[in-house]
Structure 1
Amino acid sequence: MKLVDQYFLNQKEPYQSIMLYVRGIIFNALPEVEERYSYKIPFYNCHGKPMIYLNVLKGKNYVDVAFVQGVLLEKEFPVLKNDNKRKQVRSIQLRALEDLDHDNFVKLLHVASKILKDSKKAWFL
């Protein structure tokens, strides 16, 4: 079993279901995406660069769907928040599956992929 699969199986509900649902959307929307296990969490790379990661932050009661270049996306997608005073990363906090607007999330994935493709590197701040 891959480490990333083990990570998902080790999550408590509802986090496990939320993460698996988001993972499915990512794979369906971006067939070219590569799933990796880095820093003990799942990362999704596009164009050879990290684009999204999934995490349950200690002391928080949600799944953090974090976009590496989120600062470039937050005006067009106000669902992205800077909850932890991060310089570049912005994220969607999901407490339940119903919290995710599927169509808007797919659009966000496509825009994020395009921006990342045109970027020289993922981490710029």
Structure 2
Amino acid sequence: MKPVDEYFINQKEPYQSIMLYVRSLILNTLPEVIERYSYKIPFYNIDKKPMVYINILKGRDYVDVAFVQGVLLEKQFPILKNDNKRKQVRSIQLKALEDLDQENFVELLHEASSLLSKSKKAWFV
């Protein structure tokens, strides 16, 4: 079994269901994305550059769907929050599957992918 699969299997509910749903949306929306297991969490890369990752931050009660270049997307997608005072990363916090607007999330994925494809590197701050 791949480490990324083990990561999802070892999550408690409702986090496991939320993460698996987000994962399927990412993989089905962006067939060119590569799923990798880095820093003990799942990352989704385009052209070897990290675009988004899924995590549960210690002491939090939600799934953190974090966009690496989120600071450039937060005006267009107000659902993205600057949690944890991160310089560049912005994320969506999901406590339940119902918290995710699938149509808006798919649009966000396409925009993030397009933005990352035009960038020389993912981390610029």
Could you tell me which residue of structure 1 aligns to residue 42 of structure 2?
42
TM-score normalized with structure 2 length? 0.99
Could you tell me which residue of structure 2 aligns to residue 109 of structure 1?
109
| Structure 2 CA distance for aligned equivalents of residues 36 and 99 of structure 1 | 25
| Structure 1 CA distance for aligned equivalents of residues 22 and 80 of structure 2 | 15
| Structure 2 CA distance for aligned equivalents of residues 117 and 59 of structure 1 | 34
Matched, 1:123 2:98: no
| Structure 2 CA distance for aligned equivalents of residues 112 and 32 of structure 1 | 13
Could you tell me which residue of structure 2 aligns to residue 2 of structure 1?
2
**Mapping of residues 12-51 of structure 1, within 5 Å:** 12-51=12-51
Deviations 1:94-123 (A, max 9, x none): 000000000000000000000000000000
| Structure 1 CA distance for aligned equivalents of residues 47 and 92 of structure 2 | 22
Deviations 1:35-86 (A, max 9, x none): 0000000000012200000000000000000000000000000000001100
| Structure 1 CA distance for aligned equivalents of residues 106 and 98 of structure 2 | 15
Percent of aligned positions that are identical: 78
Amino acid at match of 2:63: V
CA RMSD of aligned residues (A): 0.4
Could you tell me which residue of structure 1 aligns to residue 98 of structure 2?
98
| Structure 2 CA distance for aligned equivalents of residues 114 and 32 of structure 1 | 12
Q: Which runs of 4+ in 1 moved over 2 A?
A: none
Unaligned runs of 5+ in 2: none
Could you tell me which residue of structure 1 aligns to residue 78 of structure 2?
78
Deviations 1:9-46 (A, max 9, x none): 00000000000000000011000100000000000001
